[in-house]
Amino acid sequence: MTLIDVPYSVEELNNAQIELVRKNEFQGDNVYIRPFVFLGYGVMGVYHKEAPVTAAIAAWEWGAYLGEEGMQKGIKLKIVSMNRPSNTSAMGKAKATANYLNSQMAKFEAIDCGYEEALLLDDQGYVAEASGAAFFMVKDGVLISPPNDNSLQSITQKTVIEMATNMGIKVERRRISREEVYVADEAFLTGTAAEITPVRIIDAREIGCGSRGEMTQKLQSTYFDIVFGRNKDYEHYLTYI
């Protein structure tokens, strides 16, 4: 039994997204799609199974999530006081709106302190993820990203790992401590909105050269070739409209 009985199949929702983009006739080259499945009106209280289920899909033109300058030069990242909730406190693997309250509070703290983005640790003090993106760091030529034991699984993270492996870059999925982050050679965030965004400062500490690193730039360039259909080897990630 599922917790929410969605009245549409995955195929129907995917086709609706394609039709939405087609009918809007967007003029830009970067469009964000946000599908929602949510509980409608009719039932009060915290037991939800009798509430009607509604689906909606939004799409709009969207530029660089963390700014065009950040994509080129890197952003400032703050390790915030707000932890990523533990796996025993909620269904953290679900891409649920309720889970984003924690991210919203973390992002507010980071921006209020003069940074562009928040990095959350887990309840044991290891790096989990940013407020809405996965974290990567580079040390001694090795690309390192935390396991998804306390973070959302990310299609973009998976793509970056596949790209790096195909380039002959050694990739490690392991826990990362705060101290390791501070002495990284490079760092960047990945996500549907963040794409591949370099990190130049973490907690007032300059990372590597203090700008977009060499490996980050190489991965970023390859990634954009993929999403804009310029690399035939990765067409399995694309849906043509």
Question: How far is Cα 142 from Cα 136, in angstroms, rounded to an integer?
Answer: 10
Catalytic residue among 49, 73, 78, 95: 95
Question: How far is Cα 200 from Cα 188, in angstroms, rounded to an integer?
Answer: 8
Half-sphere exposure of 3 (CA within 13 A, CB side): 9
Classify strands 117-121 and 75-79 as parallel, antiparallel or unpaired.
parallel
Q: Render 39-57 in DSSP notation, one character per residue.
A: E-SS--SS--TTS-EEEEE
- Token duo for residue 57: 């899909």
- Concerning whether 95 is annotated as a catalytic residue, the answer is yes
Q: Render 190-209 in DSSP notation, one character per residue.
A: EETTTEEEEEEEETTEE-TT
Catalytic residue ranges: 95
